[in-house]
Amino acid sequence: MATIELTKDNFNETLTDNGFVLIDFWASWCGPCKMFAPIFEKASEKHDDLVFAKIDTEAQQELAASFNIQSIPTLMIVRDQTVLYAEPGALPEAVLEDLIKQVRELDMDEVREQIAKNHEEASAKE
């Protein structure tokens, strides 16, 4: 699948309609972003069952701010509308492939249970 451009207009729909989305927050002036772009694109061609999306932080400042993006490139992985990974830095191809493999293997029922448990514990402390 080709990489798609995410904007505030199609962001929610894209995450709602797709179970596994990788998002690259980038900008045209960013050297590390330019280095990561071909790695991200190659992974998108290899994993055509996943959605690979890019957010231009200059054009979509409101969207970048809503995720508190402080450094680019930042890779975010969302599965079943749950952010599982969000870290700045250009990843080497092997690391990105390993990360995709790890996220594929997650039991999302267990993840949701852990999130609910964490919310309960946080609420009990307040």
Number of domains the chain contains:
1
Provide mean pLDDT across the span 62-90: 94
75: containing domain: 4-125
Quickly tell me which residue has 């990105």 as its tokens: 96
b/e sequence 10-38, b meaning 16+ C-beta within 10 Å:
ebeebbeebebbbbbbbbeebeebeebbe
Q: Is the pLDDT of residue 94 over 60?
A: yes
What CATH number is associated with residue 78?
A: 3.40.30.10
Q: Is 72 within 8 Å of 27 (Cβ atoms)?
A: yes
pTM above the 0.85 mark?
yes
Residues with catalytic roles:
30, 33
Torsion sign, CA atoms 28, 2, 40, 12: positive
Tell how strand 4-5 and strand 20-26 pair up.
unpaired
